[in-house]
Amino acid sequence: MRKQILSVALVTALSAISYAQNKVVSVTTLTKNETKGQPKKFVKCAAKPPSVEWEANFQKQIQALIANQSKYRTAMQVNYTIPVIVHVIHSATAVGTGANVSDVQINSGITILNNDFAGTGLNSGNVPNALASAKANTGVTFCLAQRTPTGAQMTTPGIDRMSYASKNFIAPGATGYDGAYIDATIKPATMWDSNKYLNVWLLELGNSLLGYATFPDNSGLSGMPSGGNTSTEDGVVLNYFGWGSSSNSFAPYDKGRTASHEIGHWLGLRHIWGDASCGNDYCTDTPTQQSENVGCPTYPKVTCSNTGDMSMNFMDYTDDQCMFMFTNDQKTRIVTTLTNDSRRANLVASTNLSCTPVNLNSPPSAVFMASSTGTFIGGGNITLTNTTNNATSYLWTVSPTSGATFSNSTATSPTISFSAPGSYNVCLTATNSFGNSTPACQVITVAAVQPTTCDTLSNLEADDTLTFYRNGATAADGYITGQNSFGDISKAERYNYPTSGFSTGLTISGIRVYHAVIKGSGSTAYNVWNESAGFPNTILATKSVINNTLTPLQLNTITFTTPVAVANNTPFYVGYTYGYASGDTIAVVQTRFKNPTVNHAYEQFSNNSWHAFTETPASWGSTASLVIFPIICPNTVTSLAHLTHNLTNNAYIFPNPNNGMFSVMLVFDEQTDATIMITDLLGKQIMVRNVTNVIQQEVALNLTNAGIGTYLVTIKTNSGITTKRVVISE
């Protein structure tokens, strides 16, 4: 495996997992625990351990995260909030009877989870002194979802009740549902979007199981065994009494710790004994132990030559009252999951509003985006995308009215076309039973003739988080996007040919690149490649630049001596080739691994072969985009869609979450004045910054005195407005 990154410790960890090749156990194998000290003969957990390949890739991501946090920014507690939807599957009994558990029990489950993941739960003060330093506050909190998938306010937050008959499910019978039926039938029929919710199912679970969970879908790459799940099965299944405080008749499983254990799996944690005799859970601060513990062992119970099993860990099999801690290394695995797993990362992103109540007792707030804020006569329709919540009707207006036509002025998301040049103010008013919103407006500029300006392309997505990663624990290991211990020589970003505006061809006049690090007296070549067989091939244009003439942590513009033509409707690559002269260092900012849904990043090894970042084990096993933009110029313009971007894609916040110190990166095609306004969720203004004549600029902001919480960052220019969320943690 080429990219066993970072340290000798990782190499040791990877070799140590070879034992597990015969231990990818099934549910039936786990039932051997059924009668082992569990008085009601419940099987504690039936989560399926993921594959060896999954764990190897996950360890690689852990080490990259550790190195990045230690070298890029000061370590800090980052808090994550996970919205939960609890699906209650019952037999049409009264609420509070049998599987139709009460609202009180469901709400108590959230309290228990929040305390357990903060390290303050029941009996958490009983951690033995010898293990106390390992106890962690994971930084994870849970909330019952406030909104349905359509954005409506839930009358009973986070609870989705249904009888099995209402969904045409089979009856659970005397033995309960088996996992195969749940995964194949119940989950797909009841699942809420797993990018926005942690789905939990409470029902009568068969085979004497307490619960099971899906692991993170760590890779999803072809040819690599999946350790996780699909979007139609992702979540946690519990026997109905395993969530929250339940009847004492279900002791010793009545204190909600089954949920803490299974959600630990869902966040990437392994059983503490490694599912093998003296096995490996890949956490150095959990003692190696012989096997699972049951009941309430007295510390120290010595096995495998340790100083005492950590039987009080949530990932053991002890009774609910006797498990009460996660460790710091387990926290690292959890944070790695929330950083790299695509669904988990989306779920905790600041753009996920599932935990935010809808204000039902007030008029709506109108919000929309135009597909373009510029066009010309005959340039086609502009789509108006309405994202307003809690509205029952809409009215679109435009000023001046002459020369502009809506497809339907009362539609949710109409199109608008123009027959005369000028500046048009397009507004949306939303209405509900409490009144009308304040109009939300955007200016669209219509030109009389076709412009011939140049533009930049970007693969960045609106909610991308920008970062960069060290390749190892020391400076000698280098960077993932620059010189490193593997001897990589080039990095490139793939671009598809624009879908509109360039039907008669385009040229690339240069590139804009955002360096995290750039220093030394050596040179770096900035290139354009064509594509062959899905990889960069022939260099079409190149410009060599001395490293120390460029500035780190801002966009640098590299202009080619002669613009290069790109063949119509063919992909191309822009990137850089670098040397290893003494004193030279280069790294380019990239998106957080797995943050974009599609990979655009490629690298050239020392043997001149090209590889996608998604390749495993050859490369990094994850999607990514590099912050490197081609400057493209049309031969003849047929649309302005590429020339005036939606502001959503002109502004990026990083890091996010943060400790109050963060930046807004603005990227425009021409000099633009912008206003950055920060408010809290109630609309109170915290800060306003004005910047002028910006083409590309990083605006550093300091909200360390504002307090922990979620804030709105609104960026406004004369061509549009966009609002993003930023999360400040300790």
Beta strands per DSSP E along 433-502: 435-436, 440-447, 455-456, 466-467, 490-495
Q: Name the strand (E) or helix (H) holding 585.
A: strand 585-588
User: Helix %, strand %, coil % for the chain, to 5?
Assistant: 20, 35, 50
CB-count burial class (<10 Å; 0-12, 13-18, 19+) for 75: exposed
Q: How many whole angstroms from its chain centre is CA 83?
A: 14
Q: Which tokens belong to 220?
A: 């999803």
- Considering only CA atoms, give the Rg of the chain: 28
HSE-up (13 A, CA, CB side) for residue 608: 2
Question: Are residues 10 and 60 in contact, defined by beta-carbon separation less than 8 angstroms?
Answer: yes
Q: Work out the number of other CB atoms within 10 angstroms of the CB of residue 587.
A: 23
Query: What is the DSSP track for 114-137?
Result: HHHHHT-STTGGG--GGGGGGB--
Q: Residue 517: CB partners within 8 Å, gap ≥ 6?
A: 468, 479, 482, 552, 585, 586, 587
Pairwise CA distance, residues 110 & 121, whole Å: 12
User: Would you name the residues annotated as active-site residues?
Assistant: 262
Pairwise CA distance, residues 186 & 169, whole Å: 7
Question: Are residues 98 and 240 in contact, defined by beta-carbon separation less than 8 angstroms?
Answer: yes
| Per-residue three-class SS string for 446-464 | EECCCCCCCEECCCCCCCC
Taking alpha carbons only, the member of 218, 173, 209, 450 closest to residue 336 is 218
Question: Are residues 145 and 355 in contact, defined by beta-carbon separation less than 8 angstroms?
Answer: yes
Taking alpha carbons only, the member of 718, 711, 717, 652 closest to residue 687 is 711
Q: Which tokens belong to 608?
A: 């001149």
Long-range interactions of 19-25: CB distance < 8 A, separation 24+: 19/276, 19/279, 19/280, 20/49, 20/52, 20/55, 20/274, 20/275, 20/276, 20/279, 20/280, 21/52, 23/49, 23/275, 23/276, 23/279, 24/48, 24/49, 24/50, 24/51, 24/52, 25/49, 25/275
Mapped onto helix, strand or coil, the DSSP state of residue 689 is strand
Vertex 368 angle, CA 365 and 373, to 5°: 140
Pairwise CA distance, residues 51 & 22, whole Å: 10
